[in-house]
Amino acid sequence: MVNFEAMDEVHREEVALINHLGSLITTGLDSTPDTNAITAKLYEWVEHTRAHFDSENRMMETHGFPPYPVHRAEHELMLSKIESQQQQWLNEKELNQLAEFIFVVWREWFDAHVKSMDTVTARFLSQVM
Ligand SMILES: [Fe+2]
Ligand SMILES: [Fe+2]
């Protein structure tokens, strides 16, 4: 939680989506993956992430947050990694690779990003909005 409702709400939605996707992946690793369900939930999560990053970028730009370019660059880099994972999944359906990305790479990134960039941004926005 970054104590700024507009951002916390989006983060809660994102975590709910990733938990759902994560349980589809875990079940798939134990038995036969439901590839259609994973594809659909992955799509939903990618679209949500895009909207999430766009909304933060817009608020930072509108309110003149000085380190906006740095925060936006972190979003762009992660979004490109997410998009290539999605492409990997669509082309190869390599579940272990998707699992590694979601459970390790993305999880660590999200945790660190919320604690740093998003927390500093929220502190700024809550003073100017
Ligand atoms: Fe965020
Ligand atoms: Fe962010």
Residues with CB in 5 Å of ion ligand 1: 118
What is the whole-number distance in angstroms between the Cα of residue 107 and the centre of ligand 2? 14
CATH architecture of 5-128: Up-down Bundle (1.20)
Q: What is the pLDDT of residue 55?
A: 98
| Cβ atoms of residues 46 and 83 within 8 Å | yes
Contacts for 99 with CB less than 8 Å, ≥ 6 apart: 25, 26, 29
Residue-wise pLDDT tens digits, 55-96: 999 999 999 999 999 999 999 999 999 999 999 999 999 999
For ligand 1, the distance from its centroid to the CA atom of residue 31, given in whole angstroms, is 33
Q: What is the mean pLDDT of residues 104-126?
A: 98
Q: In the chain, where are the structural domains located?
A: 5-128
Which residues make up the environment of ion ligand 2, defined by Cβ < 5 Å? Answer: 56, 118
How sure is the predictor about 13, in pLDDT bands with cuts at 50, 70 and 90?
Answer: very high
The helix or strand, by DSSP H or E, that contains position 42, with its residue range, turns out to be: helix 35-62
Contact 35, 93 (CB under 8 A): yes
